[in-house]
Every structure is written in structure tokens, then in C-alpha cells.
Structure 1
Amino acid sequence: MFNEELLQLVEPFAKARSLLDTQSALERFSYKMGFDYFQLLILYPCSLQRSHIVLINNYPKSWFDTYYKNKYLMEDPVINLAMKQTQPIFWNTQDLMQSDISEKSKNVMKLAADFGVQNGISIPLNSPTGEKGVLTFITKVGNNSELMYE
């Protein structure tokens, strides 16, 4: 029974033909797996200095508006770490608080927590043709996250 349910959750990704299909599949998958939010970010290199960005998420509108307006993508420690490694990033570990992470990046995480975007897992994505990205699933309630960003 469990395998059939899992297949029903994964199958829409293979059938997705548009960003809307992908977003619907991510919404259903994240909800069924017990996550509150998701984000899929993909960077398609256009030139050596520019990339085309695809970003879909269901973050709270207030957080996404703040994130976009303040250009936090450049300071987001999850995104920066995902561009450098292939292992999953667990937000409730010390991965995001390494000493080489700037104070601005730490502040992005603190602010995200204020908007309810607190605890998650981010999976770096890398393609053989140079695209990079990260798929993130988030819960509102962190695991001792209030201690991490102080």
C-alpha cells in the first residue's frame, strides 16, 4: 500500500510539462510529506556572468516579497552552500552556521525564521550540462532553531 501511495506522489513529476504542473506536484508532495513550504530554484547559465533563474515556491507572500525586494538570494546561506556541495543541507545542524558564512547570511536565516520559514532540508541539484539548483522542503517549527541563529 505504501509503495502505491509513494508512486502516486512521485508520478506527477515525470508527467509535468510546465512550471504549473511542477508547482502542483511539489505542493501535493510537500503537503503529503508533512512540510509547510517548498522552494525549487534552478539556475540556467546563459553566459559566464549571467544565469536565467527559475524559482517556484509556496512561501508566505510576506516573506517572499521581503526576500525578493532585498535581493536575499545573493546572501542566502542555503543557496550558497547548495552551489558548493552535493550533500543535503539540514537546516537544524551547524552546516548553516559555519564560520565562513557572513553575518548578512546569518541574518537572512534569522529573518526567515521570523516569517515562519524555520527548519528544512535542502537538496542541491546539479546537471551534466551546467544547471545548478536546490530543492527545499520547510516546516514552520524548527528543531531548536531558536538557539542556532543567536
Structure 2
Amino acid sequence: MKDLGKLRFFLGIEFVRSKAGILMNQRKYALDLIANPGLGGAKPVFTPLECNQRLTTTDFEEDILCTNDAIGATVNDSMLLDPESYKALRVIKYVKNTPGLGLLMSSHQSDNLVAFCDSDWASCPQSRKFVTDYLVKIGNSLTSWKSKKQTTVSRSSVEAEFRSMASTVA
């Protein structure tokens, strides 16, 4: 086994140490994402989606391959043909505004483990399935979060909340 020194990069995540703690971010990946499709001169936006925009499965009936090359080809075209391209470009413009944001694991915090969960019973009008959300914090640092449409239909809001709690602790 070989000691590689202090951790700086791991799986595309940059680790920056300071007196405040350890900051984990994907700044290099974000800058590469902006540079590849040629969006260096694009005006940044402050939100990843437009306010009050609802996404439904009918917006994405066909599988869309959204890679840097596909976005780059879209940017180089004189016209954006589909609304999904606008949405993908808006997310990249948002990332341009916030490339260095990350998670701070504070060195001055307690080791309390706190978890929050919620469910939105029958939120999908097509399938009546619920969406479960959770987040887990150690001290004041967010360590895990998830938002997912469940695979089963719950018969009541209590069952949906129970399933949400179960997925939080699993």
C-alpha cells in the first residue's frame, strides 16, 4: 500500500482543506461542462429552471441523449429546435454562475445525525405514484439527499409517509 498524501481529487470531486473544514466541489467538472459546448460567453442565470415551471413525463416521451456533444451541436445550430435543449442549456448557464459551490464539512460542528423526510402523495397525475424526498445531515453539513418517484402506488398519505421514512433509513 502506498500513501498518496492529502486527498485532493477523488471521482471528479475536488477536496479543499481550510481551518473552516473540508470543502467538496466539482469546480473542474463544471468549468469543463461550460467550455465543451462553447458557452464561455453565455450570460449566466440564477436558477436552474424558470420559476413555476412544471416538468411532466409528456415533455420527455422520447429518450433524449443529452451529452456535451449533443448540447454543443445544439449551440452551434442557428435555431434550438426543441424545448428540452432550452432546459439543458439553462442548467449549464446556471452551473456557469455557480461553479465553485460545494458541500462544506465543518471542523467546528457537532456529530449529531439528523434526517428529514417527506412525501407528496399521488403527486403524479398520470400514475398516482408519490414522490419521496429526504436529506441527511451530520452536524450542519448536508451529506445525503434524494428525491424520487416511487415504484408503487400508496393507498393513503400515511402509507406514503411510512415508505418515505423507510427509504430514508435504508
- Whether these two folds match at TM > 0.5 is no
TM-score, reference length from structure 2:
0.23
Give the greater-gyration-radius structure (CA).
2
Higher helix fraction (1 or 2) = 1
Does 1 or 2 have the higher relative contact order (CA < 8 Å, sep 6+)? 1
